Amino acid sequence: MPERVRHRVVVMAGETFAGMRISELPPPLRQYARFTPTRRVKYGAAAIATALETDAGFRHRVASRLRAEQPDLADALTQGTVPPAADPVEVAAAAYVLRPQGWVKLMVAAGEETLRAEAEHAEEERARELERLREEVERLRAGTREEIDRHRVDLDAVRRESDAVHRKLRSSQSDVRRGEAALRKLRAELEAVRAEAAAERAAADAEARRLRARLAESETALETGRRAAREGRSVEDMRLRLLLDTVLEAAQGLRRELALPPVEFRPAQTVEAVEPGALTPRDIANRALSEEDPALLDQLLALPQAHLVVDGYNVTKTGYPTMPLDKQRLRLLGGLAMLAAQTSAEVTCVFDGAELDVPVLLAPPRGVRVLFSKSGQTADELIRRLVRAEPPGRPVVVVSADREVADGVARAGARPVASVLLLKRLARA
């Protein structure tokens, strides 16, 4: 069976699926029932062809559909005749499905007609391709002739340009010879200048040695004068030290004579009382106050020589992030000024200035030190430097919600507190 006839038979059988229930289909074809006609022909062609060959019931249903759609062709094939204008492929496919008497001869005749038509079509295609190739050859020949003419013109231009280049080369060679002569003259002059410079350098070296000798003499004289001055001062220092030793020995002799004990006791120590223990930031942290109680900050700032370091933008963006940066700074610094006046603690507020193009114009309030980090440095780094600059044992309180900053200053001996704690304390003020 020719391939075109086989494909047409499969298409006809695939179109029959639309009028059949899944139970009416042969079992091998049921998996293709929900496919589209195109996918059914593509993936189930072999199964459909096998079913048509082996399942007479399925082939009968396909034949019934064919008789309903093409009654004239079906009647003609049943009577053993072929319509003169019918497509050979269609006739062969219908004969295979209907299988009238002599259907094999009809398929063979239709197949031969199909092969003949395909051969004629292939011959026409070959003739058209040959004509196209001839036209392409003529076009290439014309293009080749044009290309040869253009190359000839380019060759003439290159020859003229080569002649011009040769002339320029000869002129350049003459210039090079003149330049070499000038270079030899300049080298001679350079050697003369070098000889003159060597003579001047020798004279300068001699003058430098003479000056160094004079400088050594001057340094020797200066050292002699200094030694004489030191000896004069040593005599006066010796007389003063002798007088001081005399007074000290007299005082010690009087102390031994009177048997005076060293003074190590004070009158206030005779009064019985309970002396308070000295508090540290760690002692205050161990009290029962909550980490968010503003009273904790008051107790920390009440320590002697307490220093409060504030991460400015960390606090303002926690408390009032919607305000502009300049308004945030002014509001925070106003609150810190009141806190400094109430607690007498040293207050330093640090802002991030790493991305500032110009310094911020700001008048710090009384009692508050305002610092901006340098370009390329963050406020966190500046805070850690401030903490490290303090002597061990001084109470330093750092306000920041940044966990990395809090851990770093805690290792350095400072007491970190949250930004919310400072905001609550300022709100209370």
Please check the confidence at residue 386 and state whether its pLDDT lies above 50.
Answer: yes
Task: Select, from the ranges 50-54, 100-104, 397-401, the one with the highest average predicted confidence (pLDDT).
Answer: 397-401
Handedness of CA 47, 48, 53, 54 (dihedral sign): positive
Torsion angle, alpha carbons of 303, 307, 312, 315, to 10: -20
Q: Residue 61 CB: number of other CB atoms within 10 A?
A: 17
The pLDDT confidence band at residue 396, using thresholds 50, 70 and 90, is: very high
Cα–Cα dist 196/208, whole Å: 18
Please check the confidence at residue 11 and state whether its pLDDT lies above 60.
Answer: yes
| Residue percentage of the chain with pLDDT more than 90 | 22
Please check the confidence at residue 110 and state whether its pLDDT lies above 90.
Answer: no
The pLDDT confidence band at residue 106, using thresholds 50, 70 and 90, is: low
Cα distances (Å, whole numbers) of residue 53 to 13, 47, 80, 239: 12, 10, 22, 142
- Beta carbons within 8 Å of 299's beta carbon, 6+ residues apart: 284, 287, 289
**pTM of the predicted model, to two decimals?**
0.37
Cα–Cα dist 365/368, whole Å: 6
Angle CA 252–256–260, to nearest 5: 100
- How confident is the model over 305-324, as pLDDT tens digits? 899 999 999 999 999 999 99
Cα–Cα dist 353/358, whole Å: 9
Please check the confidence at residue 62 and state whether its pLDDT lies above 80.
Answer: no
Tokens of 68: 């309903």
- How confident is the model over 180-228, as pLDDT tens digits? 999 999 999 999 999 998 999 889 888 888 888 888 888 888 887 777 6
